[in-house]
A and B are shown apart, each in its own frame.
Chain A
């Protein structure tokens, strides 16, 4: 009956209640949608980085991480690779040979990271093969093919089928030169990556090095983010003598950004709810002042002050919760639509790619966030109601019942 009273009291002044409900609903819609965009942006950055080159897990020797020396190779890498590939949930694993070197064209040169790969393995770990804007991804048997980013191609003034020379230090310290033909040019979401990374076949690199198969890096792809931790733990226990790291450790800036996004979302929503707090307080204060006589009568006939206090809190909670539910429904519909259709930001594509972001953003909001926002709304409602409720219970029934 008290809940029913609270509900009916809300609708005594429909226009005022609808305005505050609309304010809560629109505030939440904007807050949740903005949070979903931020989270989508964070997810986009994380996913594109994982897709582009990181994979979910990487294995190196401990010394390679510090020194990046050509000789810091993973012992028995091929055996480890086949063991990893055989694991459940692992969808791909690729061994990489990594050398820092120079690339030169007829007109220009620059520093690059040369990654020797086995293309058939690499396509199961990264998505570079899907990012080609021209050419192919090691499809022909031709030797000394090179696949590089469009930005590097622009800087070097080259295009598909152009010839470039790679130079780097060999295992014995001598400088090795190798001529390669550009067979593919890719464009990822990261301009920096497109400017600094080249892919060649591992066999071609080993030939130039005059070496048996050696690898510096094993990249692992897992079927779902949820399974990364279990695979990661397994690899850590199996290969404790190596450095096994997940994507959060490999790219701490992504982890930081992920956490920052979460924190920013909460701050953003906190600011919205804080602003709403004053609106709700104002509405409830008006309600209390309009019903002075009624509260006086309730207390006169025997309603305890704490019950009056609770009734006002309950009215505020019902009002805020109703607005919150409307806002969350509106937000979830909007987010659901844009999570499929995407938000086209191609007008800002150049700027976004500097940060490694895609031009189309897909907002995403995990279900737990709706639960936490519900708690935040309830807390806001309680805080908003305290002052009006105190005003109400401070009324003297004898005076209040004679108020007109």
Chain B
């Protein structure tokens, strides 16, 4: 059974002046443990697809089944709860809480889950260790570099023990070395813990590392290449 299963998902933004068909009957399956990149030009529907997979938006029609749960009919509050327990988010601009330390940022999502203080602290330190920032646990985001902030964001995304991580342009603000280092980290997490990563990206470095690349164009899947096919093409 696929971790994420999208059946004929259509999303239409119906404003007073515009009528945009952002996604057009998209069918997609993503298995657990995949390291997948969703690519495409601006306006191709990447963000909409990521929002729908992440429970941040609901489709106009079609079904979205994540972890065997059909979330396409969920109400906003149900989606919040779903996101809290099933999905880890990594954003382009890191989006850490500026007044919290790295450790508190990682802890916060566990607080929302209702975990005890001792459990939160223990897991937060383990995750910061995993992303190589144990010694920066008490630094605030403003005291960390961009790469370090994004590593904290990865630790935060993993803190809720999600089914998969959605990463929206995670390397867009990073220099090459830092981006490579972050991708190494994510690859290792994927390899060692079978953690599923789904990226929305323009970054060739991410595309090169992805095991599967889904290309969207005008709201539809134009190409869906796995690693073997990528190698043949190259």
Contacts and interface: CB of A to CB of B under 8 A. Distances in A.
A2 B97 CA distance: 12
B84 A302 contact: yes
A304 B77 contact: yes
Nearest to B86: A302
A302 B51 contact: no
Contacts of A294: 95, 97-98
B20 to A, nearest CB: 14
B56 A397 contact: yes
A398 B56 contact: yes
B95 A293 contact: yes
B100 A302 contact: no
A401 interface: yes
Contacts of B81: 302, 304
Nearest to A304: B80
Contact of A305 (B57, B77, B89, B160): B77
Interface in A270-297: 293-294, 297
Interface in B53-78: 54, 56-57, 76-77
Interface in A112-141: none
Nearest to B96: A297
Contacts of B113: 302
B8 interface: no
Contacts of B84: 301-303
B21 interface: no
Given A302-B83, A305-B76, A297 B91 contact: yes
B228 to A, nearest CB: 34
Contacts of A11: 99
Interface in B135-179: 156, 160
B85 interface: yes
A146 interface: no
A175 interface: no
Interface string A1-37: 1100100110110000000000000000000000000
Interface in A174-195: none
Nearest to B156: A301
A9 B77 contact: no
A313 interface: no
Interface string A53-73: 000000000000000000000
B57, B85, B107: most-surrounded residue (chain A CB, <10 A) = B57
B229 interface: no
A8 B99 contact: yes
A299 B57 contact: no
A300 interface: yes
Contacts of A303: 80, 84, 112
Interface string A153-170: 000000000000000000
Interface residues of B, number: 29
Interface of chain A: mostly helix, strand, loop or mixed: helix
A1 B156 contact: no
Contact of A5 (B51, B56, B91, B97): B97
A404 B172 CA distance: 15
Q: Which of B80, B85, B93, B113 has the most chain A CB atoms inside 10 A of its CB?
A: B80
B103 to A, nearest CB: 11
Given A1-B108, A300-B83, A401 B95 contact: yes
Contacts of B111: 1-2
Contacts of A2: 111
A243 to B, nearest CB: 68
B57 A398 contact: yes
Contacts of B210: none
B95 A5 contact: no
Contact of A300 (B85, B89, B99, B108): B89
A307 B108 CA distance: 13
B5 to A, nearest CB: 21
B9 interface: no
A300 to B, nearest CB: 6
Contacts of A304: 77, 80-81
Contacts of B85: 302
Interface in B204-225: none
B99 A5 contact: yes
A304 B114 CA distance: 13
Given A9-B99, A302-B81, A402-B47, 11 more contacts: A293-B93, A293-B95, A297-B89, A297-B91, A297-B95, A298-B97, A301-B112, A301-B160, A302-B84, A303-B84, A401-B91
26 contacts: A1-B104, A1-B107, A2-B111, A5-B99, A5-B100, A8-B100, A294-B95, A297-B97, A299-B80, A300-B83, A300-B89, A301-B83, A301-B109, A301-B156, A302-B84, A302-B109, A302-B112, A303-B84, A303-B112, A304-B81, A398-B51, A398-B56, A398-B57, A401-B91, A401-B95, A404-B93
Interface of B: 47, 51, 54, 56-57, 76-77, 80-81, 83-85, 89, 91, 93, 95, 97-100, 104, 107-109, 111-113, 156, 160
